[in-house]
Amino acid sequence: MTANNAAHWKAPKDTVFVIVDPQKDFCADGALAVPDGEAIIPLVNALKRHFDQTYLTQDWHPAGHHSFASAHPGKAQFELITAPYGEQRLWPDHCVQGTEGAAFHDDLEIHPQDLILRKGADKQIDSYSAFYENDRKTAPRFDDGQSFAEKLQQANVKRVVFSGLAFDYCVGWNAFDARNEGFDVIVVKDAVRSITPEGEAEMIAKLTAVGVKIVNAQDLPNLLNAKPAPPAPRP
């Protein structure tokens, strides 16, 4: 891919783009704001134009969710507890179903063909990943009843490219699970943000250990062996 056509490329048809939780509560002034989270939106919009199919995940918690510190009197936000399914960090109330904070960022470009998978809707189980909730058994489902892995397999997807918020939790766990499901996985490093530097470093180590590639957007066309897009038709 040369410099002259780097801006005009098309991802292979067996490759999809996933935007993890680009929601208002994870952006500036949100209930669980990720530092600089909203800054990824322009790059995410630019990247998604190069893919035939984009998926979005959306945290969709009922009020009083088990992962909220407010549901555990005497416990503090960000404290760790032991849930029936294992360790659970307690969060501020965020992305509550139907609230403004659960909505996607206003500047995010969403098209009718984009597919949305909501997660964290079970009041008793948190869900960082759209592949598996935090019990590591239950799979969130699309409206048609398919799991994320089933949907991708049915579409003959081989490679998944991830962006979104936050890298050290939901993006990372999505990438980890996608890799374990047998997909080739790429995370676009400049199209994610993390809650903490320490969490980011730990997640990078976790993902690289299972073969996830972490690259900057400028390196994506060559890594995908993307084809130059045909010239736009003249008006």
Q: Is 227 tagged catalytic?
A: no
Q: Confirm whether 68 is domain-assigned.
A: no
- Measured CA to CA, the distance from residue 75 to residue 72 in angstroms comes to 6
Domain assignment of residue 234, yes or no: no
Flag whether 89 is in a domain: no
Taken in order 97, 98, 104, 110, the sign of the CA dihedral is positive
Residue 2 lies in a domain: no
95 catalytic residue (yes or no): no
Residues 139 and 117: beta-carbon distance below 8 Å: no
Question: What pLDDT, on a 0 to 100 scale, did the predictor assign at position 42?
Answer: 98
Check whether 234 has a pLDDT greater than 70: no
Residue 86 lies in a domain: no
Confirm whether 69 is domain-assigned.
Answer: no
Residue 41 CA to residue 26 CA, distance in Å, equals 12
Q: What is the pLDDT of residues 98-121, one digit of tens each?
A: 999 999 999 999 999 999 999 999
> Which of helix, strand or coil describes residue 81?
strand
Per the domain annotation, does 40 fall within a domain? yes
Q: pLDDT > 90: what percent of the chain? A: 92
Among the listed residues 25, 95, 170, 177, the single catalytic one is 170
- In a domain? residue 36: yes
What pTM did the predictor assign?
Answer: 0.92
Q: Domain holding 155: CATH number? A: 3.40.50.850
For residue 164, what are the contacts with CB-CB under 8 A and spacing of at least 6? 18, 19, 20, 21, 22, 40, 44, 57, 170, 171, 191, 192
Going by their DSSP bridges, the two strands 54-59 and 15-20 should be labelled as parallel
pLDDT of res. 228: 63
Active-site residue flag, 119: yes
pLDDT tens for residues 162-216?
Answer: 999 999 999 999 999 999 999 999 999 999 999 999 999 999 999 999 999 999 9
Catalytic residue among 48, 119, 151, 213: 119
Q: How many structural domains does the chain have?
A: 1
Cis peptide preceding 166, ω within 30 of 0: yes
* pLDDT score of 227: 67
Mean pLDDT of the chain: 93
How far is the CA of 45 from the CAs of 106, 163, 182, 231, in angstroms? 12, 11, 27, 20
Domain region containing 29: 9-60+94-224
